[in-house]
Amino acid sequence: MTSVFDGWDGVRPRVSAGFDPAALERLSMLAELRRQRIPVVLDTSCVRNGLHYQLAQGRVPATLHLAESGKARLFMEKETLIETWERLPRFADQMGVHVSQLRSLFGDHWLPLISVVSLSDGLRKLDPRAAAVLARDPDDYPAAALAALLSPCILLTRNHKDFAPLGVRTPNQGVDAILAVIEVRAGETQLQAVAVLPAAPVLAVGGVTKWAADRVGPAAYVILAVLVVGGIYLYRKQPEERKEMIRNFAVESGKFLMEQANQAMATVNNAEEQLGACLVPGPEKRSPVSAVLRHLAIAESSMSAQQLCDALDDTVRPGVPDLRTFLHRSKPDLVREARRGSFILGNPYHVESSTTP
């Protein structure tokens, strides 16, 4: 396919001497992922494992919970989706269940959360890493091409050998990335909860709050904040001797809160390190098409050509008319028009239990 972007060449920004470009890019990537939804590309093998988990545990895997929360967005290349559907009978035999059960689980729980993208041959060839996967296994080429275009992203696959050109080193790498995202969110929630507590005398609730936090989570700190507001008023009404006792309690509580804040910060830092190590890294040279598709992948809502151009870096920014033409030509394979002139990456798919997507 001839793209209206032909001739545009994505260039990486220059970095001043004395700084490590890789380290700076990693920090920039993590900062971006902290603000935006994370693109997650699904491979057939991960769907198979996820369905097996549902059957064994009676609940959906963490990946689907993350997508439901809005912290991640799931994508599948259409060929990968079809391959997955066609392999459900084989998976059912392996798991000892009727195929209709897997079709029901996949159709009811997975498909509503997945945006399906159909890449042309020209788009698949944009990133040389995808071509390296093609040489190893043609069946993995569609998922590899999509992950390369949306990178940095999470690639959920057990096949670390064929996807090695994308930086997949272990069969658990994608799942480890999902767990890291959950840890980052949990640590940030705890930090926010600790931050709402004023630096004021806190009644003897430090030990109680720690006990509650171990059992009900960060919500215990929010409850403590409510107690503090009332405590300030009561503190002012106390005699001086009792105020001294309360101040001593406040010191101990302050130490406890600092410990909790440091612990939460360490959790966030460690989880972000793990996440950065588990992601499919961004391309060496970002193409304008890749920049457009990735920005649509992380956007909170549909975007117009003008909004996309305003958001893109100068090095990969096409003209608004060219981009508008490209987006309209890409319907419905790449994008759908959520409202007039405003686009979302991917399309939803719905299937009956006996049909093919």
State the Cα angle at 115 between 114 and 117, rounded to 5°.
Answer: 135
pLDDT digits (tens, 9 = 90+) for 295-316: 999 998 999 999 999 999 899 9
Can you read off the two tokens belonging to residue 103? 């079709």
Most confident of 1-10, 261-270, 318-327: 318-327
Q: What's residue 17's pLDDT?
A: 47
Rounded to an integer, the average pLDDT of 110-114 is 96
Tell me: pLDDT of 2 over 60.
Answer: no
User: At 343, is the pLDDT very low, low, confident or very high (cuts 50, 70, 90)?
Assistant: very high
Of 44-58, 73-87, 207-221, 258-272, give the lowest mean pLDDT range: 207-221
Neighbours of 194 (CB within 10 A): 24
Q: pLDDT above 70 covers what percent of the chain?
A: 69
Of 31-45, 73-87, 215-229, 235-249, give the lowest mean pLDDT range: 215-229
> Which has the closest alpha carbon to 191: 141, 245, 265?
265
Can you read off the two tokens belonging to residue 313? 């870096």
User: Quick one: how far is CA 206 from the chain centroid?
Assistant: 34
Q: What's residue 62's pLDDT?
A: 92
Which residue ranges make up each domain of the chain?
Answer: 24-168+280-345, 186-277
The better pLDDT of the pair 75, 33 is held by 75
Residue 18's identity, in one-letter code, is G
Q: What's residue 352's pLDDT?
A: 58
Rounded to an integer, the average pLDDT of 257-275 is 78
H or E stretch covering 39: strand 38-42
**9 within 8 A of 259, measured Cβ to Cβ:** no
Which residue carries 């809005």 as its tokens? 70
Tell me: pLDDT of 130 over 70.
Answer: yes
pLDDT averaged over every residue in the chain: 81
CATH code linked to domain 24-168+280-345: 3.40.50.1010
Of 4-8, 32-36, 282-286, give the lowest mean pLDDT range: 4-8
User: At 87, is the pLDDT very low, low, confident or very high (cuts 50, 70, 90)?
Assistant: very high
Tell me: pLDDT of 91 over 80.
Answer: yes
Rounded to an integer, the average pLDDT of 133-159 is 96
Which residue carries 């004021």 as its tokens? 200
Q: What's residue 215's pLDDT?
A: 47
Query: For the purposes of burial, counting CB atoms within 10 Å of the CB of 61, is it exposed (0-12), middle (13-18) or buried (19 or more)?
Result: buried
